[in-house]
Amino acid sequence: MVPYMGWILLCYGLAAVLVHMLHRFYSRRKPNSHMIHYVLVTRNHEGQMEWYLRALSWYARLRGLSLQVTVLDEGSKDDTLAIARRLQAQDDMELTVIGLTVVRQEDVEEQTAQIKGANPVYVDLRIPQEADKIPYVHV
* The pLDDT value given to residue 110: 74
List all residues 6 or more positions away from 121 whose beta carbon is below 8 Å from its beta carbon. Answer: 36, 37, 38, 39, 133
Query: Mean pLDDT, to the nearest integer, of 10-28?
Result: 87
What is the domain partition of the chain in residue ranges?
1-30, 31-133
Class of the domain covering 31-133: alpha beta
3 state DSSP class of 121: strand
Q: What is the pLDDT of residues 91-125, one digit of tens each?
A: 778 898 888 777 777 777 776 676 665 678 889 88
Question: How does the average pLDDT of the chain come out, rounded?
Answer: 84
Q: What are phi and psi of 63, to 5 degrees?
A: -90, -10
Burial class (CB in 10 A: 0-12, 13-18, 19+), 5: exposed
Beta strands in 35-115 (DSSP E): 35-42, 66-74, 94-100
- Please determine, for residue 32, whether its predicted confidence score (pLDDT) is greater than 60: no
- Please determine, for residue 15, whether its predicted confidence score (pLDDT) is greater than 80: yes
